[in-house]
Every structure is written in structure tokens, then in C-alpha cells.
């Protein structure tokens, strides 16, 4: 009897646990299906960039399935209803899928599982998209979920490394769905009501494999071996750029970790070893935030620590628009926002600086920024994004940046982009400004501004806030909130 493999955020064939199990279990067809779910597409969170990369990944997946003699069946609608229809059309004996840990997904998948069981059909779900599942790691003494990243990561490694030894191959061939089984064409972005104004990366399993191989290529100047330092330099491509692939699963997280663990068995210098170790710890942040939200779903709408919901935000719409457009007058923030608006991606260090600026310098509710990032990022991921924003806001408990440690955007800029290469790339108005003034162009003497054709207030905005004053204002707002709650 045929079985259905329901693809969701795992758009690949290699090390895909549900697909592997479905192919092993069925002597008949494996029906690979992807359902475009309106509840996700139009939830106000998902933006054009993530939707566009998803559609491109579906094209690539369909192509890869065709190489195995199969094809992707695409449906559009409510997942349970679409699966019911598909089961009745194919007489499938069961459905296989990889687990997702967000509240909406859990509710959806529980309903599917319940219906399948009521029909006497099989429902098989698999641990796939994270290294350690949220229920898989609790504190030793009290069996409670972890709140502190430092303690979490210590025990995470053991379990995660074990997973890295459990890879499964891509099926070498698949029995195709019946030729008369209907599939919708993969829609164009505009058909789904999205308008893309950004450049997005090329995607698909083959490209994800290429990115991983490049990042682990020791001959390259900026491989994982240099990651510990290079990851702090936004002007350099010192990070893996795999977030879009990990978001929609065109690469397996186990394969990423395995690559790193295998490298650690080779003779490395202390610096190189640190590069690999630091990268592994970033993969752990991904699991950490997944379990944090799984156990604390209220974080999706408010602060993990509810005292931070008492902050009196200023929420000035004009300042918010200036931040969105990269017109704050702080070059490093503006460069980051423009990178996001152009490339649907922003370097991690600058995400931290820009988020901190919105929250602390402009005193705008972190949820406004979180939503904007969700709509603009091609790697937009509810857990990593929410986690990143609450980290910057200081509202996610002991692993967050403490609220009183406020990033100084000028000092951050000088440290991480000393010669302004990153700034100049995304803020061309400042291209000719000397290094000395690049981080604070408003301090340029007026004659120099005129000479360079970069008059502050005319060619590039004057700073929309004074950082020193804004810092005091933020500290007061935070202290007041914490005292009154
Ligand atoms: P690398 O440095 O090569 O890291 C490897 C992988 O580890 C990443 O691809 C990602 O999957 C994971 N990772 C790295 N850092 C983190 C982190 N802090 N939290 C969780 N996972 C991490 N990441 C997203 O994938 N989607 C988001 O929507 C997102 N929003 C963010 C918002 C803010 C305010 C901040 C501060 C961070 C956010 N991050 C998000 C985390 C991080 O910025 C990106 O994962 C990283 O920049 C992606 O680039 P890379 O693939 O080259 O990462």
C-alpha cells in the first residue's frame, strides 16, 4: 500500500528521517506532499522573502524527486482536510512526517494524528529538525526545562553528538505516486499575494550542500576554522550562511554537526579548534530557543519574564519608520537595516546592534522589531527571531543580555567594522567619509562635509537620538517597570 511523506520544514532528500522510514516501510508508492497552508501564509508574520525561498526550494525538491523517478505533489488549503483528501484518493496506509515544535504545528499535527488513528491508519512522526528535542533535555535534579543557556549547552553536547552519528542516506529510488494523482503547479510568489523587493539567495538541497562544503573547506581563507573571530566582522563572509537552509531544512542539522565533530578529530591549532567549538555552540542556541518557546509558549506574544511587559514604550511611528528604512543617522544601524531590506539577511552582530538600538535607544517595543524582521528575513524563524529579540530586550531571563548593559552603537561600530567597509557597502552616501568619522559622521567639520558632498541633515540624516540621553531614558523606563511589577 502507498504511504504519504508530508514535507514541511525539511525540503531535502538526504538524512530525512520521515522519508527514509516511509521508503523502508512501503513496498508501494511513497507520496511526497507539500501543503501550502493559508493559516501560515497569511498569519501576518510570514513575509515575501521566506515565501520566495520556500517556493524555490519546492522547485528544487521536485527536481530532485524527479531524479529518483518520483515527483512532488503540491496541495493548497487546510492541512488536515488536504491530507484526508489525499488519503482517500491514494488509499494510503499512513502518513510520515518530521516533528515541528511550535504551538500551531503541535495542534495541527495532533489533529492529523488523531484522525489517522481513528481511521485505523498509521501516523509516524520523527525527531529531525533539531539535534535535541525540547522534551529530551531537562535539569538533572528537578526534571525542569532549562532557562539558562550556559547550563543547557553543557548537557546538550552529549545528546547532540550522539544524534550526529545517526544520519540516514537519501533513498536511492522511490516508487512514484500514480500518474493521475493531481498536483497543483508550484505557484508564483505574486499568486500568493506577496511582492518581493529584495534579492534572495539561491536555494535547494544541492546549494545547501555546497554552502556547507565551502564553510568546511580548509583551503578557504574564511572557513569554520576562523569562525571564532571572523563571525564578529560583518564586512566579511565569516559565517556559514546556512540559516536559510536550516530554516526550511534543505540541509540536515545532524549533517552540519557531524561535519564539525569529524573536523575536531583532526589535528587543529587551539584557534582552529575554537572556531569549530564556537560554531557548534551556535547550533546549540537554535535548539535552546526551540525548547525555550516550546516550554514557554507565552513568549510568542510577550516577554518570557512578564515584568518586562510593564515597560512604557515610546513607540514613535516616525522613528520606527526611520529605523526600518536605515535612516537613523547611526551608520552601523542603517547599514544593517539596508542589508536586510536589500538582501533579506543581516549579519548576526548587526542584528544584535540594530535590535538593541530599536529597543533601548528608541524605546520601541521589541515585538515591533521582531515582526519587521520576520517579514523581511529569508531565514525568518519564529524561535530564533523571538529568542534574539528577547535577548536584546533583556526580557528572556538569565540568558539574555542584562537590561542595564546597553550596546553603544558607536563603540560597537568601531570594534566590529573599524574601517567602515560594511557601512560603506550599504550606506553609499558615506562611501568617501574618512575612517575617523565613519562611525559618527555628524562630527565631521562642516567644511569637510561640504567638500565630500555628504552634508549631515541633507545627504545623510543627523542622528535621530542622542545615545547618551537615550541610554538614561531606557534605564529609567526599565527600572520603573521592574520596580512596579
Ligand atoms: P552561523 O553563524 O554560521 O551559525 C550557524 C547556524 O546556527 C545558523 O545558520 C543558525 O541556524 C544557528 N544560529 C546561529 N546563531 C543563532 C542564534 N543566536 N539563535 C539561534 N540560532 C542561531 N536566526 C535565524 O535563523 N532566523 C531568524 O529569524 C533570526 N532572527 C534573529 C534576530 C535577532 C534580533 C538576532 C540577534 C539573531 C537572530 N537570528 C536568527 C540568529 C542569527 O543572527 C542567525 O542565525 C545568523 O546570523 C545566520 O547566519 P549564518 O547562517 O551565517 O550563521
Task: Summarize pLDDT for 328-346 with one digit per residue, the tens.
Answer: 999 999 999 999 999 999 9
In ligand 1, the atom with minimum distance to the C-alpha of 382 is: 28
Query: Does the pLDDT at position 484 exceed 90?
Result: no
- Expressed in angstroms and rounded, the spacing between residue 232 Cα and the centre of ligand 1 is 13
Residue 469 · residue 362 · CB < 8 Å: no
Mean pLDDT of 161-184: 95
The whole-number pLDDT of residue 433 equals 98
Query: Does the pLDDT at position 70 exceed 90?
Result: yes
Phi and psi, residue 239, nearest 5°: -115, 170
The whole-number pLDDT of residue 26 equals 86
State the pTM of this model.
0.97
Mean pLDDT of 250-262: 98
Answer yes or no: is the C-beta of 253 below 6 A from any ligand 1 atom.
no
Answer yes or no: is the C-beta of 283 below 6 A from any ligand 1 atom.
yes
Mutate to test the pocket of ligand 1, among 213, 379, 382, 395 (most ligand atoms within 8 A of CB): 379
Running DSSP on this structure, what letter comes out for residue 357? Answer: I
Tally of CB atoms within 10 A around 451: 11
Phi and psi, residue 144, nearest 5°: -105, 155
Mean pLDDT of 243-267: 98
In ligand 1, the atom with minimum distance to the C-alpha of 352 is: 36
The set of residues, in sequence order, having a beta carbon less than 8 Å from that of 56 and lying 6+ positions away, is: 200, 202, 203, 204
Q: Which three cell numbers stand for residue 308?
A: 518586562
- Expressed in angstroms and rounded, the spacing between residue 379 Cα and the centre of ligand 1 is 8
Answer yes or no: is the C-beta of 382 below 6 A from any ligand 1 atom.
no
Report the mean per-residue pLDDT for the chain: 97
Q: Which three cell numbers stand for residue 232?
A: 564578529
Answer yes or no: is the C-beta of 392 below 6 A from any ligand 1 atom.
yes
Mean pLDDT of 316-320: 98
Residues annotated as part of the active site: 282, 285, 313, 348, 366, 389
Complex ipTM value: 0.99
* Residue nearest to ligand 1 atom 43, measured at CA: 348
On the CB side of 467, how many CA atoms lie within 13 Å of its CA?
A: 16
The whole-number pLDDT of residue 187 equals 97
Give the confidence band of 397 by pLDDT, cuts at 50, 70, 90: confident
In ligand 1, the atom with minimum distance to the C-alpha of 246 is: 11
- Expressed in angstroms and rounded, the spacing between residue 162 Cα and the centre of ligand 1 is 23
* Residue nearest to ligand 1 atom 13, measured at CA: 282
Answer yes or no: is the C-beta of 149 below 6 A from any ligand 1 atom.
no
pLDDT for 83-115, tens place per residue? 999 999 999 999 999 999 999 999 999 999 999
The whole-number pLDDT of residue 485 equals 77
Query: Does the pLDDT at position 481 exceed 90?
Result: yes
In ligand 1, the atom with minimum distance to the C-alpha of 385 is: 30
- Expressed in angstroms and rounded, the spacing between residue 384 Cα and the centre of ligand 1 is 7
Q: Taking the CA atoms of the chain, what radius of gyration do you get in angstroms?
A: 24
- Expressed in angstroms and rounded, the spacing between residue 283 Cα and the centre of ligand 1 is 9
Q: Give me the residue label for grid cell 564556537.
A: 278
- Expressed in angstroms and rounded, the spacing between residue 346 Cα and the centre of ligand 1 is 9
- Looking at 119-174, list the stretches that DSSP marks H as alpha helix, in order from N- to C-terminal side: 149-163
Residue 391 · residue 401 · CB < 8 Å: yes
Answer yes or no: is the C-beta of 380 below 6 A from any ligand 1 atom.
yes
The whole-number pLDDT of residue 90 equals 97
On the CB side of 169, how many CA atoms lie within 13 Å of its CA?
A: 4
Answer yes or no: is the C-beta of 362 below 6 A from any ligand 1 atom.
no
Answer yes or no: is the C-beta of 340 below 6 A from any ligand 1 atom.
no
Amino acid at each position: 500500500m502507498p504511504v504519504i511523506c508530508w514535507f514541511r520544514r525539511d525540503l531535502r532528500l538526504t538524512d530525512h528521517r520521515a522519508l527514509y522510514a516511509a521508503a523502508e516501510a512501503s513496498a508501494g508508492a511513497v507520496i511526497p506532499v507539500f501543503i501550502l497552508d493559508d493559516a501560515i501564509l497569511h498569519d501576518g508574520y510570514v513575509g515575501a522573502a521566506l515565501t520566495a525561498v520556500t517556493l524555490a526550494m519546492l522547485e528544487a525538491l521536485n527536481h530532485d524527486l524527479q531524479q529518483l523517478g518520483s515527483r512532488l505533489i503540491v496541495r493548497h488549503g487546510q492541512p488536515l482536510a488536504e491530507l484526508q483528501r489525499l488519503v482517500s484518493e491514494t488509499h494510503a496506509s499512513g502518513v510520515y512526517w518530521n516533528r515541528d515544535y511550535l504551538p500551531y504545528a503541535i495542534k495541527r499535527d495532533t489533529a492529523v494524528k488523531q484522525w489517522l488513528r481513528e481511521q485505523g491508519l498509521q501516523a509516524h512522526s520523527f525527531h529531525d529538525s533539531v539535534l535535541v528535542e525540547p522534551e529530551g533535555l531537562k535539569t538533572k535534579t528537578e526534571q525542569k526545562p532549562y532557562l539558562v543557556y550556559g547550563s543547557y549547552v553543557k548537557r546538550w553536547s552529549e545528546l547532540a553528538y550522539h544524534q550526529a552519528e545517526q544520519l540516514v542516506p537519501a533513498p536511492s529510488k522511490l516508487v512514484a505516486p500514480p500518474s493521475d494523482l493531481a498536483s497543483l503547479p508550484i505557484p508564483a510568489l505574486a499568486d500568493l499575494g506577496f511582492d518581493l523587493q529584495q534579492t534572495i539567495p539561491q536555494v535547494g538541497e544541492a546549494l545547501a550542500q555546497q554552502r556547507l562544503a565551502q564553510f568546511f573547506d580548509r583551503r578557504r581563507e574564511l572557513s569554520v576554522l576562523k569562525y571564532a573571530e571572523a563571525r564578529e566582522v560583518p564586512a566579511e563572509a565569516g559565517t556559514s550562511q546556512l540559516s536559510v537552509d536550516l530554516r526550511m531544512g534543505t540541509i540536515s542539522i545532524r549533517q552540519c554537526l557531524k561535519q564539525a565533530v569529524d573536523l575536531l578529530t583532526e589535528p587543529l591549532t587551539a584557534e582552529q579548534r575554537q572556531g569549530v567549538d564556537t560554531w557548534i555552540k551556535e547550533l546549540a542556541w537554535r535548539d535552546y530557543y526551540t525548547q525555550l518557546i516550546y516550554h514557554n509558549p507565552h513568549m510568542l506574544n510577550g516577554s518570557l519574564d512578564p515584568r518586562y511587559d510593564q515597560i512604557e514604550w515610546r513607540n514613535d511611528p516616525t522613528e520606527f519608520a526611520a529605523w526600518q528604512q536605515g535612516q537613523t543617522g547611526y551608520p552601523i544601524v542603517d547599514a544593517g537595516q539596508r542589508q536586510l531590506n536589500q538582501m533579506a539577511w543581516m549579519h548576526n552582530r548587526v542584528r544584535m546592534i540594530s535590535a538593541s538600538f530599536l529597543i533601548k535607544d528608541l524605546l520601541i517595543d521589541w515585538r515591533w522589531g521582531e515582526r519587521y524582521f520576520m517579514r523581511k528575513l529569508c531565514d525568518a524563524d519564529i524561535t530564533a527571531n523571538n529568542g534574539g529579540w528577547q535577548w536584546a530586550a533583556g526580557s528572556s531571563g538569565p540568558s539574555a543580555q542584562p537590561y542595564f548593559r546597553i550596546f553603544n552603537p558607536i563603540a560597537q561600530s568601531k570594534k566590529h567594522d573599524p574601517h567602515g567597509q560594511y557601512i560603506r557597502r550599504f550606506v553609499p552616501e558615506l562611501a568617501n567619509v574618512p575612517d575617523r568619522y565613519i562611525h559618527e559622521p555628524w562630527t565631521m567639520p562642516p567644511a569637510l562635509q561640504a567638500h565630500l558632498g555628504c552634508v549631515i541633515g541633507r545627504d545623510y540624516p543627523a542622528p535621530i537620538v542622542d545615545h547618551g540621553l537615550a541610554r538614561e531614558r531606557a534605564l529609567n523606563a526599565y527600572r520603573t517597570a521592574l520596580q512596579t511589577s
